[in-house]
Chains A and B, each alone.
Chain A
Amino acid sequence: MRKFFSSPTAVVGTLLLAIVLFAALFGPLVAPFDPQEFHPVARLQGPSATYWLGTDQFGRDLLSRVLNGAPATVAFGLFATAIGVGIGSVIGVIAGVSGGWVDSTIMRILDGLLAVPDLLFTLLIVTVLGGGMEHALLAVAIAFTPGMARIARSAVLSVRTRDYVRAAVARGESGFYIVTFEVLPNALSPIVVESTIRVSFAIMIGATLGFLGLGAQPPSTEWGLMVAEARQFMFRNPWCVAIPGLSIAMAALGFNLFGDALRDALDPRRSH
Chain B
Amino acid sequence: MSWGYLIRRLLAIILVLVIVTFAVFAITAILPGNAAIMILGEYATPDAVAALQKQLHLDQPWYMQYYSWVSGILLHGDFGMSLRLSLPVTQVVGEAFLNSALLAVTALVAVTIIAIPLGALAALKRGTAVDLIIGLFSYLGTALPEFVTATLLLVFLAAPNTGPFPAGGFVAPWEDLGGFASHIVLPAVTLGLILLAHVSRQVRSEMSEVLSSDYVRAARLKGLSERRVIRRHALPNSLAPAVAVISLDIGYLLGGIIVVEEIFAWPGLGRVLMYALENRDLPVIQAVTLLLAGIYAVSNLVSDIVIALLDPRVRYA
Q: A207-B145, A257-B139, A272-B208 are in contact. Are A227 and B292 (CB under 8 A)?
A: no
Determine which of B160, B259, B273 lies in contact with A235 in the assembled complex, contact meaning CB atoms within 8 Å.
Answer: B160
User: CA A200 – CA B197 in complex, angstroms?
Assistant: 15
Which residues in window 234-292 of B have CB below 8 A to A? 251-252, 254-256, 258-259, 262, 273-274, 277, 285, 289, 292
Shortest Cβ distance from A213 into B: residue: B278
Q: Which residues of B contact A118 (CB under 8 A)?
A: 251-252, 255
Determine which of B147, B148, B262, B289 lies in contact with A124 in the assembled complex, contact meaning CB atoms within 8 Å.
Answer: B289
Say whether B143 faces chain A, with CB atoms less than 8 Å apart: yes
Please choose the segment from B25-33, B58-66, B94-102, B220-228 that sits at the chain A interface, where 4 or more of its residues have CB less than 8 A away. B25-33
Query: B152 and A241: CB pair below 8 A?
Result: yes
Q: A120-B273, A204-B145, A212-B259 are in contact. Are A113 and B24 (CB under 8 A)?
A: no
Q: Give the shortest distance, in Å, between B290 (CB) and chain A (any CB).
A: 9
Residue with the greatest number of chain B CB neighbours at <10 A, chosen from A242, A249, A253: A249
Q: Which residues of B contact A123 (CB under 8 A)?
A: 258, 273-274, 277
Q: Which residues of B contact A234 (CB under 8 A)?
A: 151, 154-155
What secondary structure prevails in chain A residues at the interface with B? helix
Which residues in window 133-166 of B have CB below 8 A to A? 139-140, 142-148, 151-152, 154-156, 159-160
Q: Which residues of B contact A128 (CB under 8 A)?
A: 27, 30-32
Q: Which residues of A contact B306 (CB under 8 A)?
A: none
Which residues in window 119-144 of B have CB below 8 A to A? 139-140, 142-144
Say whether A117 faces chain B, with CB atoms less than 8 Å apart: yes
Query: A124 and B27: CB pair below 8 A?
Result: yes
Say whether A77 faces chain B, with CB atoms less than 8 Å apart: no
Say whether B51 faces chain A, with CB atoms less than 8 Å apart: no
Q: A112-B19, A124-B24, A212-B259 are in contact. Are A117 and B208 (CB under 8 A)?
A: no
Shortest Cβ distance from B27 into A: residue: A124
Query: B292 and A116: CB pair below 8 A?
Result: yes
Say whether A109 faces chain B, with CB atoms less than 8 Å apart: yes
Query: B258 and A119: CB pair below 8 A?
Result: yes
Query: B151 and A249: CB pair below 8 A?
Result: no
Determine which of A235, A241, A256 lies in contact with B143 in the assembled complex, contact meaning CB atoms within 8 Å.
Answer: A256
Determine which of A117, A208, A248, A250 lies in contact with B254 in the assembled complex, contact meaning CB atoms within 8 Å.
Answer: A117
User: CA A256 – CA B254 in complex, angstroms?
Assistant: 22
Q: A108-B19, A124-B285, A212-B259 are in contact. Are A242 and B145 (CB under 8 A)?
A: no
Say whether B205 faces chain A, with CB atoms less than 8 Å apart: yes
Say whether B293 faces chain A, with CB atoms less than 8 Å apart: yes
Q: Give the shortest distance, in Å, between B104 (CB) and chain A (any CB).
A: 12
Q: Which residues of A contact B255 (CB under 8 A)?
A: 117-120
Q: Which residues of B contact A246 (CB under 8 A)?
A: 148
Q: Give the shortest distance, in Å, between A66 (CB) and chain B (any CB).
A: 13
Query: B151 and A116: CB pair below 8 A?
Result: no
Interface string of A124-143 (1 = CB under 8 A from B): 11011010000000000000
Q: Which residues of A contact B27 (CB under 8 A)?
A: 124-125, 128
Q: Give the shortest distance, in Å, between B97 (CB) and chain A (any CB).
A: 15
Q: Which residues of A contact B151 (CB under 8 A)?
A: 227, 231, 234, 241, 245
Interface residues contributed by chain A, number (CB under 8 Å): 43
User: CA A117 – CA B288 in complex, angstroms?
Assistant: 12
Shortest Cβ distance from A124 into B: residue: B27
Q: Which residues of B contact A113 (CB under 8 A)?
A: 19-20, 23
Q: Give the shortest distance, in Å, between A204 (CB) and chain B (any CB).
A: 4
User: CA A180 – CA B212 in complex, angstroms?
Assistant: 41
User: CA A212 – CA B154 in complex, angstroms?
Assistant: 17
Query: B143 and A224: CB pair below 8 A?
Result: no
User: CA A231 – CA B294 in complex, angstroms?
Assistant: 34
Query: B20 and A116: CB pair below 8 A?
Result: yes
User: CA A125 – CA B26 in complex, angstroms?
Assistant: 11
Q: Give the shortest distance, in Å, between A118 (CB) and chain B (any CB).
A: 6
Q: A124-B24, A234-B155, A245-B148 are in contact. Are A117 and B252 (CB under 8 A)?
A: yes
Shortest Cβ distance from A251 into B: residue: B143
Interface string of A91-117 (1 = CB under 8 A from B): 000000000000000001101110111
Q: Which residues of A contact B208 (CB under 8 A)?
A: 272
Query: A249 and B32: CB pair below 8 A?
Result: no
Q: Which residues of A contact B24 (CB under 8 A)?
A: 116, 124
Say whether A144 faces chain B, with CB atoms less than 8 Å apart: no
Query: B19 and A249: CB pair below 8 A?
Result: no
Q: A227-B151, A242-B152 are in contact. Are A116 and B259 (CB under 8 A)?
A: no
| Closest 10 pairs between A and B when the two form their complex, measured CB to CB | A112-B19, A119-B255, A245-B148, A253-B143, A117-B255, A252-B143, A204-B145, A115-B293, A272-B205, A117-B254
13 more A-B residue pairs beyond the given contacts A111-B16, A113-B19, A205-B145, with a C-beta to C-beta distance below 8 A: A111-B15, A112-B22, A113-B20, A115-B293, A119-B256, A119-B259, A120-B254, A120-B255, A120-B258, A123-B273, A127-B277, A212-B274, A246-B148
- Identify 22 residue pairs between A and B in the complex whose beta-carbon atoms are under 8 Å apart, listed by A's number: A112-B19, A112-B20, A113-B19, A115-B17, A115-B293, A115-B297, A116-B289, A117-B296, A118-B255, A120-B273, A123-B273, A124-B285, A207-B148, A227-B151, A234-B154, A241-B151, A241-B152, A241-B155, A245-B144, A245-B148, A245-B151, A248-B144
Interface residues of A (CB under 8 A from B): 108-109, 111-113, 115-120, 123-125, 127-128, 130, 200, 204-205, 207-208, 211-212, 224, 227-228, 231, 234-235, 238, 241-242, 245-246, 248-250, 252-253, 256-257, 272
